[in-house]
Structure 1
Amino acid sequence: MKEKDAWTLNGYLVLILILALLGTGIALLIKLNLFGIVLLVVGCILITGIQVVQPNRAYAVTFFGSYIGTIREPGFWFTLPFSLRKKVSLRVRNFNSKTLKVNDIEGNPIEIAAVVVFRVVDTAKAIFDVDKYEQFVEIQSETALRHVASRYPYDSFEHSESGYFLRGNGEEIAHELAQELQQRLSLAGVEVSEARLTHLAYSTEIAGAMLQRQQASAILAARQIIVDGAVGMVQMAIDRLEKENVVVLDEERKAAMINNLLVAIVSDRSAQPVINTGSLY
């Protein structure tokens, strides 16, 4: 089913014709002319074809079970008498999904929710190809959200540069969700303008453990930076002492100096200096 334009006429012209028929019919009946009944019946039949269309609304017209088109243009219109007209809103609408509990690709239970911005672009598909397109949008939105969330980890603790994850790639995940929704909802004549995550968190039963894991990962990452910097500083100090011939160190004394420098730099507490007043050896 595909939307098409319905047959219409200017409603004001038809209204004038209807009033003329009714007035003439009444006048003939007063004169006891039976032709007035015919004019009254014709006028009453034409009245059933009058339709007022508000902005951002459309009416799908069916005539004895056949779809004859859609009236989209706002105004006062006349279409086929005795036809049925079903109203469809063309406004942009939001759908806020419920907070869903989903397992990510690593099996961790997470809570996730999204908002979907959509509008109807094909009234024929929205009415005739699916049953209650509003519910269809809701169900398919939650299904797509579950599917996308289950394809990625909530967070990446080791190799974050190797792929997307839900917490750090919100824009990419939202774009993929919008694309999948458009594929699912095109059957209902619905266009998805935007899809955004509105809630993302670990489930309560594992939130505490995952927080400790995040803290541990942050500490390890910080320690790695400190150690890398300390090794560079020690290497620079040894090379400079040897280059400028400040002191000549054997391997044992060099190892001791490296140990002392690393302890002083890496330690969480301030190092206590020890003054050596004797010979280094």
Structure 2
Amino acid sequence: MANVILQTDIPGVPVKHGKVRDIYDAGDHLIFVASDRLSAFDVVLKTGIPYKGQVLTQISKFWFDFLSDTIDNHVVSMDVEDFPAPFCNYPDQLRGRSMMVKKTEVLPVECIVRGYLAGSGWKEYQKSRTVCGIELPAGLKQCDKLPEPIFTPSTKAEQGLHDENISFDKAVDIIGEDKANFVRDTSLAIFKKARDYAESKGIILADTKFEFGLIDGKIILIDEVFTPDSSRFWPADKYEPGKNQESFDKQFVRNYLEETDFDKDGPGIELPTDIIEKTSAKYIEAYEKLTGQEFQK
């Protein structure tokens, strides 16, 4: 099996380990490194997914470029040679999976857009005919397309804790009305733009989440964007409402875990080899279908 990087180590540099990313302080900038760790149900699993960090970074690069005429983003460079010392001296760890980004004041709300009725939204709908408190039409099936995409923000949880769905009014309370209106409207606009593009490639973009940051009084797009970690992608030619869909994302792992006695509040577990290999292949397939380019391992 291919080499898997679960954690990077740049000697002498403080690092913050997130669920998937290692974040280093580089003075005026940050170095974001996407590891091959996989988080499911907010639990980091013990097994890494080969090439996952490279796929996440390269797909984000594609989408940041694609959306650059709609909203600015935090990317400065994705070339390790451009990074300051000592980072430029560790290409074996960083090449293809890292980006130097602007420091921002991160808005403490995750911006989720749902275009289809899946995941936790489907579970809530079955109980109350709502998703995050938004009333939906009766009679919808699992994975049905919604009449219009909906904005359903959540809190940003610390590692080991679960994000919490919140109302738009609560988001206003947290970040203020102007910022909340901006991230809602922008999230819906870029979701629709990416959805239409993905459809042209035979892929359904079911839902996604964004993060935004504030720099010099301006809100920009940060973190990752439309990756298999932050989004649900389904093959359009196999789409069939009323059941779980085949996917190009970590929903494949979620479905496997749902069939086991996995404790969503417990420690991560080891994944079997076939699940690891299939998941890696799904990530790479998503990259190649969306970008039209061959993935360079």
TM-score range, shorter chain: under 0.3
Question: TM-score w.r.t. structure 1 length?
Answer: 0.21
Larger-Rg structure: 1
Structure with higher RCO (Cα < 8 A, 6+ apart): 2
Give the number of the structure whose residues are more often helix, by fraction: 1
